[in-house]
Structure 1
Amino acid sequence: MTTSRAHNYVKCEYCREDPANFVCRACVTYLCEECKEDHDIFFNFPFRKKPPKHDITELRTYNEELVGVLYCSDHKTKRMECFCDLCERPVCTDCIDLSHDGHDFKSISSAYEKIKKDLQRDKEEIEMDLIPKYTKLLDIEVENKSNLKTQADQIQDKIQSYTQDIIEMVKSIGEKTVQDLRVKEQNGLWNINETSEELKKKISRLKQIEKTLSDHINDTPGIEFFTPMDSNLLEEFETFPETFNYKLHDFQAGALPSIVAANFGTMPGFSICQADPSDTAGFWEDEECFSESESEMFSSGNLSQAEKCYMRFDLYDDNWDNIRDSDSETIF
């Protein structure tokens, strides 16, 4: 930052592209870094006797003496004598006559001092004010990053704990429902067993009667054969017991998944709060809610419409409703 602004108006006379940072006092030629090396090698070769050694000086304006080595880029042999305030450039006497007539001028040294003072002021503002403020803002962002992760972790733990409680509650309801099912099963089985035992007794009694009758039929007829049999022998078997069909009604899933999804809780909100410009460590107390389009504007970095607002938007959007609807039958 110590180089004079005159450098902006002096180009290398060799390549005519890069700015000149050096001047050869012997041939009064302005040189850039690369061309300076070529110039030095060509004219200051150790075995070269003529022309005399060229003294190449860095083009700086640390003092009045070095200011005096600046030569006009338009008029090669003319030294820059003063500084044109209107055009903001050093000029030689020929420049003044040809294109700067009527302009205000100051000495090169005073222009140099003013430029140097302005540069020093900007340098101090950067060092003492801007960098510390931006560093503080960066520290806030680093802290925000850490805090946001901590908050997300804490909310995640809370959601997972709450979810586990719901799972345990639903499991308990499911286990009780299964227990009720098994009780009904046992009641049905008891009735079936009672009926089966009664039928088995009937069959056993019938088999005994059948055997008695078979023995009567197969024995040699005697007096007993002609004895009349009990006319009511089979009466008790003429009336058959009632038969029943046993059926457990199938399980029908209730509305619990959709109810749980609808009442699970609100989605965690996400807020972006603009800090008070006068206090980079604090935040404004008031808040305003922004629409989704304004939230996208913030995310895109276009803050021109929101620089003075406390920005906030909640991510409780249609995506969550879609998730609830599509997964309501598969959550549990």
Structure 2
Amino acid sequence: MKNAPIAVLLVNLGTPDSPKTPDVRKYLREFLLDGRVIDIPAPLRFALVNGVIAPFRSPKSAAEYQKLWTDRGSPLLYHGVDVAEKLQHSLDEYSSKETDKSKKQKYIVRLAMRYQSPSIPNVLSELQAMNPKKIIVIPMFPQYASASTGSVLEKIMQLVSKWLLIPEVSFVDSYPTDKKMIQAFALQGQELLKTHDYDHYVFSYHGLPQRQLKKASSHCKIGTCCENFSAVNRLCYRAQCYETSRHLAKELGITEKDYTVCFQSRLGSDPWIPPYTDDVIKEMYEEGYRKLIVFVPSFVADCLETSVEVAETYHEDFLALGGERWDMVDSLNSHPLWIESLEDMVLQRS
């Protein structure tokens, strides 16, 4: 097993196979029927998703997907493909520098999606056939949440546990303060900051129902408990988002007064993590801010939530109020520092 390969599995949430309504409906059903995503009793979840959300939301979501679809397909997918290819190239280069053949390590990088294609079961079957001595799993979510990272890890454990020969499996649960990742986000922002002046910075993260945070930890109070990041709340999604924000602000050279943390993409009527991005837009305008630069640090690849929700819908909302600029910073996509960050994660666990 000394020279057996190490498999690296990058996993993102998923995307429809096409922007057509039937494919979007299929994706939404698989996604929202996950008990970690909509954490209510299964019969109620089944009725809600199949009877309400999927039938009525699919046409609207399909129209939004059509806005961002390209010849390469969904940005979330093709950016993931680019990252996997570049990470493979970087690891191959690293291995080629080892002169001792007995120590030379081969890496196999693959991309999978939690929902739809390329599916985790199919990609794991491919890796199983290669008989790796180790699988390093890196979910493409810097901050841990049961509905994202938790779901990915659970699915992989369910599948691998059925193998007769189970290799060592290393999970990266989160990396909210990874230095190179933070630097990459800051560098993406510098492209806009070089040419424009802004009144305020907005750090918008994907939201979660408050109940999911409270169920995960008795420490969670949805208040001041996230002001300090410690061993107690190190896997709290909200606490990680605020810690990412503090590190990003430091990298950008701004103070706590210069930025606002908020949460987007609410679904349903239950309370989600406040403050909500759409409310913050109004508050920023009322406080006199007219030029805002927006970072999306929970998204490592541009997708529906960034390219349409933030860059278009929120942009239009802010300008309709009388705002002058609402500029979203691109996600990391396949930024060189992001590739270096992932390579570091792999090598640390090899």
TM-score with structure 1 setting the length: 0.20
Determine which structure has more spread, i.e. the larger CA radius of gyration: 1
When normalised by structure 2's length, the TM-score is 0.19
Q: Which has the higher strand share?
A: 2
Higher RCO (CA-CA < 8 Å; seq separation 6+):
2
